[in-house]
Structure 1
Amino acid sequence: MTAGDPGQDGGGRGHRVPRPGRGTAIVAAALLLIAVAALVRVQTAPEPAPAPRSDASTTPSPSSSPSPPVVAGPRPPAVAPALMRGSRDAPVTMVVFGDYRCPYCAAFARDQQPELVREYVETGRLRLAWRDYPYRGEVSEQAAVAARAAARQDAFWEYGDALYADPDAWTSGTGEEFTRIAADLGLDTDRFREDVDDPELRSAVEDDMDFALGLGVPGTPAFLINGEAFFGAQPIEEFEERIEAAETG
């Protein structure tokens, strides 16, 4: 298994999480590799929805699939279907741990992810699953909550792309900044404001953060490709190599 150092030395492609007392990145990566041995699949369940609105139609959520037994490490929180992309029958699942204030995550979302979507997701070979890892502070957490609020209007991935595209537009973390982005995407801003204030979304973000810390994920962006750890916004060829190796077993 490959676990590259996501630090910034020598043109690094990832942000490392400062966690005094947790040891070196090598130790953290080793813990991660042990913990994900039984996490090849991603547990999915519908994210709790707000109370029905008379002015909005509702659609039934997909049924949840059972979680695989976890023999080491923390139990993974469910991933809302809106935070997944691709066929649930895809042979490879890539879990993405990211922070919307991380420039290396932005580079991945801008450069590698669109190619992976075209080549693998849209052809049924890969499923993406997002997990929030907002280690850069409160504004990062607010952005993560805002993206989950957008997910309730089926705009999670578009909202995330907008956050990455112009981080200076929301660095103060005010609600109106996030609402402005929602308006630019054509979302119902009244509903968006209500959903941003839903404590269940904040709790879901915190659960993802705790899960990542429990695994010892050393920085962002970080990936699990069918359970194998992979760090940093690496060249597209590196992703292709690992995805195709996982695809062939």
Structure 2
Amino acid sequence: MPESQSKQTRRTLLRGATLALAGGLAGCTSIMDSDGSSPKSNQTSSPSGTTSTGTSMPGTATEAPSDGPEGSFPFMHSATGTTKFDVKLDQSPVMGSNDAPVDLYYWSDYLCPFCQTFAMKIHPQIAKSAIADGTLRVVFLQLPNIGENSFPAALMAKCVWRQVADDDPDLFWKWHHAVFEQQGEEGSGWADIKNLYKITEDVGIDTDAITTCIENRQDKIRKDIKAEVTVADRENIKGTPAFIFYNRKTGTSKKLAGAQPYATFKQAIQTVKNG
């Protein structure tokens, strides 16, 4: 067995063992290279997920402050700078006020059914409460980790955001939800590139512009996604959906894994806000 393949196999086994010891995770886990290589995937569910708390302030913030968004749900907008978790805001969709005291870094995979649960049932409740009242700012990040269509979906998400960020950022939320609404069974091909283009067109996004983005900016976007995967790896994030709550003033942070009940997210937001 080649050395690189052997290392990946060991990492897969170790990660699976860690999840077993953690006592179950309502999320999707696997090892997948951030360039879109096919993974060995696993989906684990239980009534509870795993959380951890602490203070973490890696990196150096270079975030440029600006006024928070005005208007109505879903409060999408672009932002600039880099957070203390090395999350680059100018590469990702942002939801909520830039003046919010708590950040939520949110990793997902469009093929993960637990990500669908969060996106369709839990995130809207968070958006209409902690985001709407100015407490929380959410940054959408990619962690393609399920199957061969995970990376193309992540790539398209980045191109969709580039297309809509300046003129109609709320369209990203509509696209994000539309993809999860269309999520099908594993191996059904629902997320192949043809279907993703159909979803994108139905939402009202210029698919020619998306094609141009994919053709001309694919290498750069691959690096951006790889950087988001690297942050997840560094923070010991093992699957999707995954979250880090971060108090931008005090440095208090809390990690949450899986599609937990809304009450769990509400409590985590309050804990970090008060931390």
- For the aligned pair, the TM-score class normalised by the smaller chain equals 0.7 to 0.9
Runs of at least 5 residues in structure 1 that lack an aligned partner in the other structure: 20-28, 46-60, 69-74
Shift of the 156–93 alpha-carbon distance from structure 1 to 2, 3 Å rule, reads same
In structure 2, C-alpha distance between the alignment counterparts of 1:104 and 1:244, rounded to whole Å: 23
Which residue number in structure 2 is paired with residue 214 of structure 1? 234
Question: CA offset at residue 212 of structure 1?
Answer: 1.5
Contact 1:42/1:93 (8 A) holds in 2: no
Q: Which has the higher contact order (CA 8 A, sep 6+)?
A: 1
Distance 2:19 2:146 in 1: 15
Residues 99-147 of structure 1: CA deviation (Å, up to 9, x unaligned): 1111111100011100000001111111001111101233101001111
Give the Cα separation in 2 of the matches to 1:118 and 1:41: 31
* Corresponding residue for residue 68 of structure 2: none
Q: Detail structure 1 runs of 4+ shifted over 4 Å in the superposition.
A: 9-12, 39-45
Matched residue of 1:108: which SS? helix
Give the counterpart of 2:26 among 4, 9, 13. 13
- In structure 1, how many angstroms separate the alpha carbons of the residues matched to 2:231 and 2:267? 27
1:93-132 alignment to 2 at 5 Å? 93-132=103-142
Of the candidates 205, 221, 226, which is equivalent to residue 201 of structure 1? Answer: 221
1:82–1:156 CA contact under 8 A, matched in 2: no
Contact 1:79 1:130 in 2 (8 A): no
Tell me if the contact between 2:104 and 2:245 (Cα under 8 Å) persists in the aligned partners.
yes
TM-score by length of 1: 0.73
Once the two structures are superposed, residues 186-233 of structure 1 have per-residue CA deviations (whole angstroms, 9 ceiling, x without a partner) of: 111211211122222222122212322233212211110113111111
Task: Report the count of equivalent residues.
Answer: 211
Deviation by residue 1:71-118 (Cα, 9 ceiling, x = unmatched): xxxx72413365110001001111111111111111000111000000
Mapped to 1, the partners of 2:101 and 2:240 lie a distance apart of 24
Q: Which residue of 1 aligns with 2:243?
A: 223
CA distance in 2, matches of 1:218, 1:10: 13
Shift of 1:162: 1.4
Aligned AA (2:204): G
Out of 134, 138, 150, the position equivalent to 2:144 is 134
Normalising by structure 2, report the TM-score: 0.66
CA distance change for structure 1 residues 44 and 80 in 2, over 3 Å: closer, same or farther? farther
Using the alignment, how far apart are the partners of 1:121 and 1:96 within structure 2? 14
Structure 2 residue 57 is matched with structure 1 residue 38: yes
Percentage identity across aligned positions?
25
Please say if residues 6 and 220 of structure 1, whose CA atoms lie closer than 8 Å, have aligned partners that are also in contact.
no
Q: Which moved more, 1:119-128 or 1:148-157?
A: 148-157
| Structure 2 gap ranges (5+) | 1-17, 33-49, 65-77, 247-252
**Hey, what does 1:24 align to over in structure 2?**
none
Tell me, yes or no, if the aligned pair for 1:6 and 1:231 is still in contact at 8 Å. Answer: no
* Shift in alpha-carbon separation, 1:118–1:136, aligned structure 2, 3 A: same
- Residue number among 166, 171, 177 corresponding to 2:182 in the alignment: 166
Q: Where do residues 52-131 of structure 1 align in structure 2 (5 Å cutoff)? A: 64-65=80-81, 67-68=83-84, 76-80=86-90, 82-131=92-141
